[in-house]
Structure 1
Amino acid sequence: MPADQKTAASVPADLWSRPTGETRVVETGSAVLCLHGDRVYKRKKPVEPGLLDLRSRAARLAACRAEVELNRRLASDVYLGVADVLGDGGEVCDHAVVLRRMPAGRRLSALVRHSDRVDDQLRAVARAVAAFHERCGTSEVIGRSGDAEAVAGQWKEALGGLEPFQGKVIDADVVDEIGRLALRYLAGRGPLLAERRRAGRIRDGHGDLRAENIHCLDDGPRILNRVESDPRLRAGDVLGDVAVLVMDLERLGSPEDAERLMRWYRDFSAQAHPPSLEHFYIAYRAFTEARVTCLRYRRILAEAGAEAGPGPGAEAGERARRLADIAYRHLRRARVRLVLVGGLPGTGKSTLARRLADADDGRLLLRSDAVRAELAADGHADPDTPGSGPAIPERPAVPADLGASFIWPLSSEITARTYTVLLSRARRALERGETVIIDASWSDGRHRAAAARLARETAAEFLELRCVTSPEVAATRLTRRDSASDPAGATSAVHRAMSSWAEPWPTARVIQTTVPVAEVFHAAERCIA
């Protein structure tokens, strides 16, 4: 045994078999713990908990060493080493991990349940986890666990594991919708996951960051019980690792603490990722925990030999349903959407589009007026790739009574280029998991059809909102805009021209903008949500 892992003293086996008044024995699924004074002695059960066969003493010794080695990276002063367990005759019969005993009242799970505010503790935990993730290693094999195909396989395995419980423990429609939302997210986010892998965010993490495994001491948190039985359970996106704790805080009834922890982790890790990816991984952790809880439910019923009633079986069933609800809610928040906000000038579409984009993180606003101005200034088809396209032609002839303000917004070629750039930028954002709101007139059905194709290709939800108002309100708004020399150029002359040739838009939801702005926003937000 390595010298830095061996403790100073061996321990007798009768600590477990004949505990005294000052000793308490606690049994888990894979270990038997002896709480004795200021120490905890943890013996592995001689079973096959996963990939490891622990029936031999040599295998249990190796597992004890691995646990100490893995967990010293997060709690070096807690995992003291490995002790020999001695039988009645003084012979070595087993081995035990030796830990410094942590105060039960300082568990994060206990603090969350019994304290009003745990901000300082959560901030310290977020900082510690972010620093730990920066030190975690990666490899080609580990990196592949974050690929879209691998993550989809994990979801399908979890969905298959819940099939026996659909309609019995968890509503079948809820499980089906969870599966649909999860796989749809993955279908269009391959570039995002590939980007995460290239950035080195797929690492050998902790694997079981639960609140009960974290002790918040005065000099900082101690994070215990890093998974050692199966390295595959530790491998994945670091967001999926911290998502275990976020999910657990929600399960404990503290969603506000969960949100704060995620925000602080994001700040300390200085990661750039869309909020949708956080929600996606939180949902996955909640769903897999629901599956484990369903298996526990079945085991309780089998042991009791009866149907669920008041007691542990009913509690397990209710917990599984709560976890499934957490997964469903986060997948709803993870949805990637392409939202067209259109209408004639003066209908309030730009005001609405800005309000919708500001209403939630992860929403990107693209404005046709801004892109058109870039094109005019750059003289190329796509300002993102200068020189890639032909120069913009001279102004076309227009009816004299429409005025100069009409020319650029309605020039067919400049308009086509504007929509090409808008949809190109939207594609990149959608593939990265961002919801995109495009503020444009959308008067031409061909442009709307191109947007619909983009939504299908990126597995994004597609929503069309058409703003309408009375001619009097539109005229008043445009008169103010005319007098202010609005740079968008969408003045009353443009409004008259566009209204004469704008194509019908029957697939759009009509948003009436003659009512107060707050009512307009809430009506549109309900459509999106």
Structure 2
Amino acid sequence: MPVFGDDEEAGRPPAHAGIRETHVAVVVFLGEHAYKIKKAVSPGFLDFSTAAARREACERELVLNRRFAPDVYLGLGEFRFPGGEHPEPVVVMRRMPEDRRLSDLVRGGAEVGPSLRDVARLLAIHHAQAHRGPEVDAQGSRAALSARWEENFAQVCALTADGGPGGDLATGGVPEARELVRRYLAGRGPLFDERIRRGRIVDGHGDLLAEDIFCLDDGPRVLDCLEFDDTLRFLDGLDDAACLAMDLEQLGAAEEAASFLARYSEYSGDPAPPSLRHHYVAYRAFVRCKVALVRAGQGDAAAVTEARRLLTAALRHLRTSEVALVLVGGLPGSGKSTLAGALADRLGVTLLSSDRVRKELAGIPPEQPAPAGYGQGLYRPEWTDRTYAALLERARALLAAGETVVADATWSDASNRDAAGDVARSTGSALVALRCEAPADTAAQRLATRGPGPSDAGAPVARAMAEAEDPWPDAVAVDTGGDLEAAVRQALAAVRPHSPEPSTVFRRSYMEPG
């Protein structure tokens, strides 16, 4: 709700009058109040053609926005005109100070961290108290999200068809975005079912943007929720928060965006995987890309550049959201476990270790030695098959829940690698194979000096495994004979080829037990 000009005293609304007009409303600013009048229009997605419809819309705007800013939305007023058949309904609001608008604060380089924490807390509190129900849950389903994505893809293609502005988008980034979206959604049924089961789908804000947030001394005021279509306001709470994160990124505040999402997740107790956070930010960027293309079709030349920037942002987040099963293999002494742990830590993802799974299945602590010759004891073929089956079953559940998995094992048997490929395909996940390679003398030195741990393999076992291992031609060879950081960079380049170290990393602020 823009205010024109600045008052001499910061944080106070200006005394002079102002006006702002949108395609469906006119806002008049007088003194300390703002008066919002609905236009008598019917653009297709809403109908304000009658005074009764406008009154109902004003009343609904008051009810919905008072959930976030009760002291801003003061009530329903009327404008009366001589000879008019019906008084014109008007939403009466407390006028907000322009110098406290979040978008302007961000552009001006102000410190907004504390204000964003307050916004995150306010949003989490609202979501905790928000209306829920079957009609709300339906909009948070995988099918509903897929339908919204497909509608937006179709609209973008239609807007850019037949020489429309930004026509290169439909043949450039849009096909990749569509493929990444479809693959993510196809394998994530359990994730979206669990979001519904946990009550994460709420009647939220629907259009949380920095220009509609005012950072006052006594806390933020969040204005202008989406009121004309309930189904667009029924959404995953994380999707609601992702809208502001996307907007902050577009304002050049990527670190603040990531921090805001982390704080929202903390205050709401939401253990969503980072992949879902990136997916929702991508969705919001793509929707805004579509809106920019609409403006471009209306003659706004600068909007084409904006659309390209937003599509780039959507693609960056979709690529980062891609769920992957990363196989980190190699012979004993190759440094595979060290690399796997460092890689999982750098990516902020789940690490599964065949050595630990093997001993867990045997009912012994992972650090307890259980040495045996090649193919003997806990390393008999049937035990190995059981170990890999259990590891992959755990990986399957994690992948379906949106979690990328780094799987640390030798992966020397082609049949186990084929089984891993089946798991990746069935969960719509990428499969990345890394084979650790170190000089023979380095590997031997590591085995000779290694202390007790999950792995029991010594030099004789390593030699026997080298003779029996199947070729692995499709694996990316990673040099693990030297600097660990160099090996991690090489592995990251294979796992995230478009952006090994994305500028915005969404990590959990904590992990839920259980």
Return the TM-score normalized by structure 2: 0.89
Choose from 324, 331, 338 the match for 1:351.
338
- 1:148 and 1:360 map into 2 onto residues whose CA distance is 25
Report if aligned partners of 2:374, 2:464 keep a CA contact under 8 Å in 1. Answer: no
Residue 34 (structure 1) aligns with = 28
Q: 1:365 aligned to 2:360?
A: no
Q: 1:50: how far off?
A: 4.8
Specify which of 441, 444, 454 is matched with residue 423 of structure 2. 454
Correspondence for 1:119: 113
Q: Distance in 2 between the 1:240 and 1:342 partners?
A: 37
Residue 320 (structure 1) aligns with = 307
What pairs with 1:39-438 in structure 2 (closer than 5 Å)?
A: 39-89=33-83, 92-163=86-157, 164-165=159-160, 168-169=165-166, 170-171=168-169, 172-300=171-299, 313-361=300-348, 363-377=349-363, 404=373, 407-408=376-377, 410-438=379-407
Q: CA RMSD in A?
A: 1.9
Q: Aligned partners of 1:500, 1:488: CA distance in 2, in Å?
A: 19
Match of 1:495 in 2: 462
Q: State the SS of the aligned residue for 1:520.
A: helix
Cα offset, 1:410, TM superposition: 3.1
Q: Measure how far apart 1:135 and its partner are.
A: 1.3
CA shift in 2, pair 1:201/1:485, >3 Å: closer
- 1:45 deviates by 0.7
Q: Does 1:476 align with 2:475?
A: no
Deviation of residue 407 (structure 1)?
A: 2.7
Q: Displacement of 1:376 after TM fit? A: 1.4
CA distance in 1, matches of 2:44, 2:387: 56
Take 1:51 and 1:318, find their aligned partners in 2: how far apart are those partners?
26
Alpha-carbon deviations, 1:66-114, whole Å to 9, x = none? Answer: 1011111111111011111110358643110000000011111111111
Matched, 1:463 2:438: no
Find the residue that maps to 1:476 and give its secondary structure.
helix
State the alpha-carbon separation in 2 of the partners of residues 340 and 100 from structure 1.
Answer: 58
Identical pairs, percent:
45
Q: What are structure 2's unaligned runs of at least 5 residues?
A: 1-14, 497-514
Amino acid at match of 1:165: T
Q: Are residues 324 and 478 of structure 1, via their aligned partners in 2, closer, same or farther at CA, if it must alter by over 3 Å?
A: same
Unaligned runs of 5+ in 1: 1-20, 301-312, 384-394, 396-401
What is the identity, as a one-letter code, of the residue corresponding to 2:447? L
Question: SS of 2:28's equivalent?
Answer: strand
Distance 1:292 1:489 in 2: 59
Shift of 1:115: 3.1
User: CA–CA distance in 2 between the matches of 1:479 and 1:113?
Assistant: 58
Contact 1:84 1:92 (C-alpha < 8 Å) held by counterparts: no
SS at match of 2:309: helix
2: CA distance, partners of 1:515 / 1:369? 24
Query: Distance in 1 between the 2:210 and 2:268 partners?
Result: 20
Indicate how the Cα distance of structure 1 residues 181 and 456 shifts in structure 2: closer, same or farther if over 3 A, else same. Answer: same
State the 1:231 CA deviation: 0.8
Equivalence for 2:11: none
Bigger shift: residues 495-504 or 285-294: 495-504
Give the whole-Å Cα distance in 1 for the aligned partners of 2:32 and 2:302: 33
Q: Structure 2 CA distance, aligned partners of 1:146 and 1:490?
A: 48
1:288-312 C-alpha deviation (Å, 9 max, x unpaired): 1100110011012xxxxxxxxxxxx
1:125 CA displacement = 0.8
- Give the C-alpha shift of residue 121 in structure 1: 0.8
For residues 51-78 of structure 1, give each alpha carbon's deviation from its aligned partner in whole angstroms, at most 9, with x where no partner exists: 5321111111111111011111111111
Structure 1 counterpart of 2:106, which letter? V
Does the C-alpha gap of structure 1 residues 179 and 232 become closer, same or farther in structure 2, counting only changes over 3 Å?
Answer: same
TM-fit CA distance, 1:116: 3.3
Counterpart-to-counterpart distance in 1, 2:18 and 2:470: 78
For residue 428 of structure 2, give the secondary structure of its aligned residue in structure 1.
Answer: coil
